[in-house]
Amino acid sequence: MSPLVRTISGIYPQDRIPSHKLSLALTVLLLGALLLAMSSGTASAQSTVVIGRGFTGMAMSVNPETGLMTVDSKGQFFQVTITDGTVINNLSDEDVGLAGLPAEKGYKIAGLVDKLITDGEGNISLERLIAQKITLIPQEATRSHKWSIAVEKQGDDLTNLGEDGSKTAIPGLGSGFETGDRIIMLVLGSAQDGISDTVRGLFKANIVGDRLDEMAQAIADDPVLAADLANLRDAWETAQELRLQKTAENAGADFEKIVLDAVQVFQRNAKSRRAAAAMGLTLSECSQSAECQSSMATTTGAVTVVDESPMIQITSPSSSTVVAANDVVTVTAEAQDGAGLASVTFNVSGADRTPLTEAPYVTNVKIPPGVSSVEVKVTSVDAEGVEGSDSIMLIVARGIDVGVKITSPVSGATTASGFGVTSRVSTVPGGHAAIFEGDTILIGTEVSGMGAITVVLTVNGVAQPALAAPPYSMSYFVPLTPVAESPPALKITATDGSGNTATDSAEFAVIRKTNAINVTITSPPASTTLKSGDTVVINAKTDDDSEIAFLTFSVGGIDTVDTTAPYTHTHVLAEKASTTAAASNIPPNVFVGKATLNGVAAPDDTVVIAWIEGADAATLTIKVTATANSGNTGSATMSLKVTGLVNAGQGTVADGSYVLTAAQPAGQNLAGKTVTFTIDGKDASQTATWTQGDADIVDLFAK
DSSP run (H or E) holding 443: strand 440-448
| Whether the Cβ atoms of residue 188 and residue 92 lie closer than 8 Å to each other | yes
Judged by DSSP in three states, 79 sits in strand
- Give CA–CA dist 529/615, Å, rounded: 12
Report pLDDT digits (tens) over 90-134.
Answer: 754 455 566 667 666 678 888 899 999 998 888 888 888 999 988
> Could you say which of 277, 299, 332 is where a domain stops?
277
- The whole-number average pLDDT for the span 34-48 is 39
Q: Tell whether the model's pLDDT for residue 38 goes beyond 70.
A: no
8 A C-beta contact, residue 547 and residue 659? no
Q: Are 602 and 679 in contact (CB under 8 A)?
A: yes
Q: What pLDDT is stored for residue 278 in this prediction?
A: 63
pLDDT band at 524 (very low <50, low <70, confident <90, very high): very high
557 and 621 both lie in a single domain: yes
Q: Is residue 663 classed exposed, middle or buried when 0-12, 13-18 and 19+ CB atoms within 10 A define those classes? A: buried
pLDDT band at 398 (very low <50, low <70, confident <90, very high): low
> Based on the domain organization, do 108 and 36 belong to the same domain?
yes
Residues 445 and 571 in one domain: no
Q: What is the mean pLDDT of residues 516-526?
A: 88
Over the stretch 74-84, which tens digit does the pLDDT of each residue have?
888 899 999 88
Residue 205 backbone phi and psi in degrees, to 5: -65, -25
Contacts of 557 (CB under 8 A, 6+ apart): none
For position 483, what pLDDT does the model report?
63
Residues 668 and 626: beta-carbon distance below 8 Å: no
Q: Can you give the pLDDT at residue 13?
A: 33
**327 and 244 inside one domain:** no
Pairing of strands 311-316, 373-382: unpaired
Same domain, 506 and 529: no
Banded model confidence at residue 400, pLDDT cuts 50, 70, 90 = low
Verify that 410 and 552 share a domain, yes or no.
Answer: no
Dihedral (CA of 292, 294, 300, 301) sign: negative
Q: CA 357 from chain center: how many Å?
A: 56
Question: What is the mean pLDDT of the segment spanning 479-496?
Answer: 71
Sheet of 503-508, strand order: 462-463, 455-459, 490-496, 503-508
pLDDT at 297 over 60: no
Domain membership flag for residue 411: yes
Neighbours of 654 (CB within 10 A): 13
Rounded to an integer, what distance in angstroms lies between the CA atom of residue 273 and that of residue 286?
11
State the CATH number of the domain containing residue 96.
2.40.50.320
Question: Tens digit of pLDDT for each residue in 138-169?
Answer: 665 456 778 899 989 888 888 988 888 888 88
Buried b (16+ CB within 10 A) or exposed e, 133-147: ebbbeeeeeeeeebb
The secondary structure of 143-205 as a DSSP string is EEEEEEEEEEEETTEEEEE-TTS-EEEETT--TT--TT-EEEEEEE-BSSTT---EEEEEEET
pLDDT of residue 409: 78
CA distance 334 to 343: 12
Residue 85 lies in a domain: yes
500 within some domain: yes
**Is the pLDDT reported for residue 71 higher than 80?**
yes
* Confidence check: pLDDT of 280 > 70: no
Per-residue pLDDT for 12 more than 90? no
Q: 283 in a domain, yes or no?
A: no
Q: Mean per-residue pLDDT for 330-345?
A: 83
What is the Cα–Cα distance from 560 to 539, expressed in whole angstroms? 13
Which are the contacts of 634, defined by CB distance < 8 A and separation ≥ 6?
Answer: 516, 517, 518, 519, 542, 625, 626, 628
Tell me the pLDDT band of 430, cut-offs 50, 70 and 90.
Answer: very low
Distance of alpha carbon 433 from alpha carbon 508, whole angstroms = 6
126 and 196 assigned to the same domain? no
CATH assignment of the domain containing 460: 2.60.40.10
| Same domain as 627, residue 588 | yes
pLDDT in tens, 531-563: 777 899 999 998 888 778 899 999 977 899 998
> Does 23 have pLDDT greater than 50?
no
- Axis crossing angle, helix 223-249 with helix 206-218, rounded to the nearest 10: 170
Q: Which of 293, 270, 267 is nearest to 280 (CA)?
A: 293
Within a domain: residue 645? Answer: yes
Q: State whether 74 and 217 are in the same domain.
A: no
The number of folded domains in the chain is: 5
- pLDDT for 526 equals 87
**What is residue 195's predicted lDDT score, i.e. its pLDDT?**
53
At residue 294, does pLDDT exceed 50?
Answer: no
510 or 635, which is more confident?
A: 635
Q: Looking at 342, 375, 396, which one is the last position of a domain?
A: 396
Q: Is the pLDDT of residue 489 over 60?
A: yes
My answer on whether 160 and 124 are in the same domain is no
Is residue 287, in this structure, part of any structural domain at all?
A: no
For the cut 60, the answer to whether the pLDDT of residue 499 exceeds it is no
CA distance 28 to 47: 16
- pLDDT digit string, tens, across residues 169-198: 888 888 778 888 888 887 766 555 555 667
Least confident among 46-55, 242-251, 296-305, 314-323: 296-305
**What per-residue confidence (pLDDT) applies to 279?**
61
Length of the chain: 703
Give the pLDDT score at 551.
92
Q: Which of 22-26, 260-264, 403-407, 676-680 has the weakest average pLDDT?
A: 22-26
Whether 235 maps to a domain, the answer reads yes
Q: What does residue 648 show for φ and ψ, rounded to 5 degrees?
A: -80, -15
Name the residue range of residue 28's domain.
Answer: 4-136
For residue 305, being part of any structural domain is answered with no
Strand 567-572 to strand 558-562: parallel, antiparallel, or no bridges (unpaired)? unpaired
DSSP for 494-560, written as a single string: EEE-SS---EEEEEE-EE-------EEEEES-TT-EEETT-EEEEEEEES-GGGEEEEEEEETTEEE
Q: Is the pLDDT of residue 474 over 60?
A: yes
Q: What is the pLDDT of residue 26?
A: 37
- Given 396, 416, 449, the domain boundary residue is 396
**What is the sign of the dihedral through the CA atoms of 658, 664, 665 and 670?**
positive
Most confident of 16-25, 120-129, 681-690: 681-690
Specify the DSSP element, H or E, that contains 230: helix 223-249
Please tell me which residue, 42 or 602, carries the higher pLDDT value: 602
Nearest to 434, CA basis, from 514, 511, 515: 511
Would you call 291 helix, strand, or coil by DSSP?
helix
CA distance 304 to 297: 6
Coil vs helix vs strand at 217: helix
Q: What is the pLDDT of residue 97?
A: 63
Mean pLDDT, rounded, of the chain = 76
Q: What is the pLDDT of residue 697?
A: 94
Split at pLDDT 50, 70, 90, the class of 5 is: very low
Give the confidence band of 638 by pLDDT, cuts at 50, 70, 90. very high
Q: What is the pLDDT of residue 401?
A: 61
Instruction: Say which range, 131-140, 210-219, 323-332, 484-493, has the weakest mean pLDDT.
Output: 484-493
Q: Are residues 527 and 670 in the same domain?
A: yes
Which pLDDT tens digit goes with each residue over 346-387? Answer: 999 999 999 998 889 999 999 887 677 889 999 998 877 888
If asked whether residues 188 and 41 sit together in one domain, one would say no
Q: Name the H helices within 250-366.
A: 252-277, 283-286, 290-293
pLDDT of residue 422: 39
